[in-house]
Structure formats: structure tokens, C-alpha cells
């Protein structure tokens, strides 16, 4: 079984939440945190990285929060992972000072990173939303519009 770090898991959950439940409106970290069961302070740090990589955008002030910076169809899981942890190839590199003529299959790591990268590139946030709808994952209700007289 392959495991992603908690940061990557939380980043994917947060971006998914914006796409699936955000309805195009800014969503506060606190709300995402409650829906996804992720500590808000941790999510703030992760969203800072996602914002710098232009995956999410932020709006300050009343009615502020985070939105997707681009369409969900253009945001891949690889982008989210690399925004949090850096290049995928570095995650697979074995750099433990083994002798240059060792009998380990070091050639494997770059090939493995490329294959996993291809799979992550082929999966967009929009794909996750489609699969969530198929699995009947409940959506958050859009905030009711407020009318003032």
C-alpha cells in the first residue's frame, strides 16, 4: 500500500472541498476544517502553499475565504502533491550514500516516480468531484442568499 503524507492528504481534501462544496463562493478555512475533519491551523499552512502555486486564491475581509484559482478540470493531483511536498521525483529518490557499484535497483525510483506522476497528472479535481457525486457523497448546502429591504 502506498501512503501519501498527511499534508498531501489534507491538501487534496481541502481542494476537493472547495470544488465540490464551494459553489464558486469563498469558503473559510474553519468551514473546510470542520467538513473535512482537518485541524484549521494545519490547513492554513497548507493553503498558503497552494495559494503560492496558484491552485487556490484567497479573498480577505467579510465574505472572504478561499476559492479555486482555476477550473477544477485543470488542477491535477500531481500539482496539489507537488505544491505541498515539492517535485515528485525527489520523493522517490534514495539518497543514503550507497556505494556507486551497489547491487540495488536504483534505476527503479525514477521510473516509478514517472509512472505515479502520470497517474496523478491524469486525475483532476473535477474527476474527484464526478466520482464523489457517483458515490453519492453528500454536498454542503449553498448559503441562502440574504435579501435586505
Q: What are the structural domain ranges in the chain?
A: 6-134
**With bands split at pLDDT 50, 70 and 90, how would you rate the model's confidence at 26?**
very high
pLDDT at 106: 72
The CATH topology of domain 6-134 is Arc Repressor Mutant, subunit A (1.10.10)
Question: pLDDT tens, 127-139?
Answer: 999 999 999 999 9
2 in Cβ contact with 120 (< 8 Å): no
**With bands split at pLDDT 50, 70 and 90, how would you rate the model's confidence at 140?**
confident
Q: 37-51, 84-98, 100-114: which has the highest mean pLDDT?
A: 37-51
The most distant pair of C-alpha atoms in the chain lies apart, rounded to whole Å, by: 79
Amino acid at each position: 500500500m502506498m501512503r501519501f503524507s498527511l499534508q498531501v492528504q489534507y491538501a487534496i481534501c481541502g481542494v476537493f472541498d472547495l470544488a465540490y462544496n464551494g459553489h464558486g463562493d469563498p469558503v473559510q478555512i474553519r468551514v473546510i476544517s470542520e467538513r473535512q475533519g482537518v485541524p484549521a491551523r494545519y490547513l492554513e499552512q497548507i493553503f498558503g502553499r497552494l495559494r503560492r502555486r496558484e491552485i487556490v486564491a484567497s479573498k480577505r475581509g467579510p465574505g472572504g475565504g478561499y476559492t479555486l484559482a482555476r477550473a477544477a478540470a485543470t488542477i491535477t493531483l500531481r500539482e496539489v502533491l507537488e505544491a505541498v511536498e515539492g517535485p515528485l521525483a525527489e520523493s522517490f529518490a534514495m539518497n543514503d550514500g550507497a556505494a556507486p557499484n551497489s547491487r540495488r535497483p536504483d534505476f527503479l525510483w525514477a521510473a516509478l516516480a514517472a509512472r505515479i506522476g502520470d497517474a496523478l497528472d491524469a486525475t483532476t479535481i473535477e474527476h474527484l468531484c464526478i466520482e464523489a457525486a457517483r458515490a453519492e457523497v453528500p454536498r454542503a448546502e449553498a448559503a441562502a442568499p440574504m435579501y435586505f429591504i
